[in-house]
Amino acid sequence: MTPGARFQEAVALLEAIASSDRPADGTVSAFVRARRYMGAKDRRAVTTLAWGVLRHRARLTWHVEARRGTPTPRTLALASLLLVDGQAPAAVRALFDARGRTPHEPPPLSSAEGALIDALAGRTLADPAQPLAVRLEIPAWLPDRLAPVWGDDTEAELAALLPEAPLDLRVNTLKADRDTAVAALAAEGIATIPGTLSPWALRAEGRPNVAASAAFQQGLVEVQDEGSQLIALLTEAGPGMAVLDLCAGAGGKTLALAAAMENKGTLVATDVSAGRLERARTRLHRAGVHNVTRRVLDAETGRWLKRRKGSFDRVLVDAPCSGTGTWRRNPDARWRLTPAQVESLCAEQAGVLARAADLVRPGGRLVYATCSLLPEENEGQITAFLAAHPDYRPHPAPDGQPWHRFTPARHGTDGFFVAVLDRIVP
């Protein structure tokens, strides 16, 4: 494909993302699968430009509007080539020289687009005139929500959500120790360094295709952010315990819990989505896990759980949440979230917590976790829960706080909140 054709495909991809309710990564995967004529280099160029626009959308939009342009997928892609990639105006104009001589070429530049290219020449993405929310690529309503948590560090914490997230792996201790996994990956040209917080963590250098490696396919490692691994560690599940992963999803934390339990004991993974649990089945098989029972959270499972009140040593609630802590990985999600959605999620979280409370045995632990930065989804939920459940008390973090908070700025992880709650023995 020519550079112009790649540009046109990137614009088409951005249009597909804008018109879909799906997360961008799912739309990107479907888009690429449907275009078998694109080679590996073409796919990389197309998706890199599209992700660049999504990651810098607010600042690119600001620049286009400041030059009296209309922000569309095409004008934002043009602005990204100039402001993010640093291409010269002549190189950008050259993308449109084919004039339809080959398939998939972009339509010629309009006079307004040509003027936009000229107006952006020599400029940089950052501009002192940009408002705070534009500089930080966040909805304007968000900073005030986070200021009570971070105070003077709010801007630095939000700025840490801008760069692309690193690729973290979790060593599956059912099949390998960390040194063995490092050596197996290195033999396939994948360089890693040990994590600093989780004893299971490895951080890959660059963006290797780990899923194609023998180490991954044989179940030695799984892709999992180091902060997510810490949630499983803080659950402190051990061999022989009865453990419930109440919102298991596709099983990332279930896998980590099973490894911590050494495949001994009972681990039940439930979720409202049968599809997510089915994806977990493949991962569990690859990892060599055999102490997990998967159950869809339907009416039958609800009755089954009622019969097991007070029977679990550990209950993990990895609650449905806004996902604000994962915006490094999901930049499009910044613009899908609304205050009304947060309010709805908070109601759902409170309901899941209340359901989980009865399932923990006296002397056991309830672990509540989100990948959210918002206090109403985190300490607000725990404060309300403890007020309504006097038979629970916080298990303090090492720094004496009643909960744990991990952020990209402070820990190099995605943003996570974890509260470990002990159920008091009567």
Q: Within 13 Å and on the Cβ side, how many CA atoms surround 412? A: 11
Q: Which among 174, 344, 326 is positioned nearest to 261, based on CA atoms? A: 174
The answer to whether residue 247 is catalytic is: no
Which residues sit in the known binding site? 271, 298, 318
Rounded CA gap, 71 and 77, in Å?
9
Please answer whether residues 256 and 316 qualify as being in contact, where contact means their C-beta atoms are separated by less than 8 angstroms: no
- CB neighbours of 11 closer than 8 A, spacing ≥ 6? 73, 74, 77, 106
Please answer whether residues 170 and 229 qualify as being in contact, where contact means their C-beta atoms are separated by less than 8 angstroms: yes
What token pair was written down for 201?
């963590």
| DSSP secondary structure of 388-419 | H-TTEEE---TTS-SSEEE-HHHHSS--EEEE
- CB neighbours of 112 closer than 8 A, spacing ≥ 6? 69
Which residues sit in the known binding site for S-adenosyl-L-methionine? 271, 298, 318
Torsion of CA 144, 149, 151, 153, to 10 degrees: -100
Q: 355: buried, middle or exposed (CB in 10 Å: 19+, 13-18, 0-12)?
A: middle
Considering the candidates 247, 321, 346, 371, report the single residue annotated as catalytic.
371
Q: Within 13 Å and on the Cβ side, how many CA atoms surround 323? A: 16
Q: Which among 174, 179, 170, 215 is positioned nearest to 197, based on CA atoms? A: 170
Provide the 8-state DSSP code for 216. Answer: H
Rounded CA gap, 160 and 253, in Å?
24
Cβ neighbour number for residue 363 with a 10 Å cutoff: 11
Indicate the SS3 state at residue 201. Answer: strand
Q: What positions carry a catalytic annotation?
A: 371
